[in-house]
A and B are shown apart, each in its own frame.
Chain A
Amino acid sequence: MRGSVAGLALWAVAVLLILGPLASFLVYGFFSVEANDIVYELTLANFADIAANSSYLTTFFRTLRLAFEVAATNLVLGYAVAYFIWLRSRLWQSILIVGLAIPLLMSYIIKIYAMRGILGTNGLLNRALIMLGVTDEPLTVLLFNLTAVRTTLVVVLLPFMVLPIFVALERISDTILSAAKDLGARESHIFFRVVLPLSLPGALVGAMFTFVLATGDFLAPELVGGIQGFTYGRLVFSQFGLAYNWPLGAAMSIILMIVALVVISVALRVGNPRYLK
């Protein structure tokens, strides 16, 4: 009895706070706007508008590419970091993982501002470069372009990549590694034939996280992207914050959500060890 009440309560929370808003979002995408008023009649007009607007489409694909680049960079970097941590002693592992997780507790905006402070003309990086004599004049190419967006997203999203990979590495049983060694496998052999395949699901989960988060991000592009920092997330944002065209914004979000779902399902499928033959 108690259990079923708690269960019902959980369902109510899920429906009220997650499914309800999501459903209203889905429905809004099929409404339209006329003279500042939302017209509550189902239509596909928003999707037709999006498909017909070349600047929306280029922005969409440019954003997907950006997110892919971020995820790919993070996959390589994140794997290296996670592997490095995995090889340390228990104590060092804990210290490094906590150190890596601390930024997750910080406000996202503050992290982006911090990146701006590092990359700016009077920023940390430029000062260091000048001090080291690498350059005389501060470099302006570090900030306010797409590279700055990529750099910022890579740095900010790195923990989302490292943590699942580390967890996957942790799950690899010592006995398997010992067995590989006992059977005479070389270090590189163990890595490529045992460790990498077994940790790949974690890596794919990480890549999926970073890709989805980077696709929907609308703050980093605005704050460090300069005039190139116009991404799909900004486009959606403008429909809600400025234009009051909620239906169009909702329709754009639906498209983004479909992309995210496809990526997630592909990653889950590929990441399942059963398909890793």
Chain B
Amino acid sequence: MIRMTGHLFAIALLLVSGTQLLAQEVRLFSFEGYAEPEWVEPFEAETGCKVKVAYTGSVDEMFSKMAASKGADYDLISIDTSIFGRYWEQDLILPIDLTRVPNTANLLPAFQSVAEVMSDGETYGVPIAWGSLGLIYDKEAFPDGVDSWEALWSPENAGHVLALDDANNNVTNAAIILGIEDPFNLSEADFEAVKQKLIEQKQYLISYYAGFEGGVNIWDQSEATLMFSMGEFQAVALAERGYDVVYSIPSEGGIGWLDTWAMSVGVKDKDCTHKWMNHYLNESTGPVMTEKMGYGNTTAESPGLDYADSLIWLRPAEDFDMRVQVWNEVKAAQ
């Protein structure tokens, strides 16, 4: 019996691998929410290309899997603009043939030529989704609105402020608030200023929080009215719990992230791969994604997400280790 199952299994394997050789397909390695049936099914019907998806839990997991296999397992990966340097350094991604992605014409002006995905005049990423790390405030507590991050440093708001527990984003955001020209390339003096700024904030904080849910929960269990947020989702979640909150990007600007499709150096079916990118930028995919997942899309105005121009897109930090050390020192300070 066992032997027979073994034979059957072997035959099944042969069949599967046989069909895989014949079928055209695109192998995606992405974060959840970028390959939903709403746009995968029409794509498969239109092009005859099959979509195979593997999901990742983190930016670093994705990088290490890509590095370990030299990209052989995937055709396209969803990576944000700050991480291209690491992929270039290890030669893990290939330039995209934009003539085969005519729908790039649909990209909104802000996403037409994103410098972070370009190298030597070639484009390595097609922008597909974006979001930000904005400020959330309680409407009742601030009827006139809040238009500066300095509200999170104001003695009047002591005991009502929440901030994200994340080294890189706190350092970057503080640098933006301090008006440092390049918040991703800090000098030693900049680091010191950022550190002092963040230590100064501690006296006004209720707590730092970790994770989307973490922030929402603490808001619920404290007297928070202001929050350095992890993203649009949190405002949605707070509204669902009955809080009248506003999500905004203050006048100093805010951190934005932009995810792209980038082509793995191990790409097999270039045709299907380019067709998928093209499909992603057609007129319907982006808005459907925004509606279902809440991410901003790159081809149409995303309702409620009207601040793309005031975002400072995430870029690779000068020294990640240093940032973690500064952040630890901030947290250890009394």
**A contacts, CB < 8 Å to B:** 33, 36, 55-56, 58-59, 113, 116-117, 120-123, 140, 143-144, 222-223, 225-230, 234-235, 238-239, 242-245
Contacts and interface: CB of A to CB of B under 8 A. Distances in A.
B321 A33 contact: yes
Nearest to B202: A227
Given A56-B332, A121-B221, A121-B222, A242 B205 contact: no
Given A120-B221, A144-B222, A227 B208 contact: yes
A67 to B, nearest CB: 17
B165 A222 contact: yes
A104 to B, nearest CB: 24
Contact of B223 (A121, A123, A243, A245): A121
B151 interface: no
A58 B168 CA distance: 23
B105 interface: no
Interface in B185-206: 202, 205-206
Interface residues of B, number: 30
B141 interface: no
B50 interface: no
Given A238-B324, A245-B321, A226 B329 contact: no
Contacts of A222: 165, 208, 210
Interface in B204-240: 205-208, 210, 214, 217-218, 220-223
A243 B331 contact: no
Nearest to A245: B321
A33 B322 CA distance: 12
Interface string B50-67: 000000000010000000
A58 B332 contact: yes
Contacts of B214: 223
Interface string B30-60: 0000000000000000000000000000001
Nearest to A123: B221
A117 B327 CA distance: 28
B221 A116 contact: yes
B14 to A, nearest CB: 36
A235 B165 contact: no
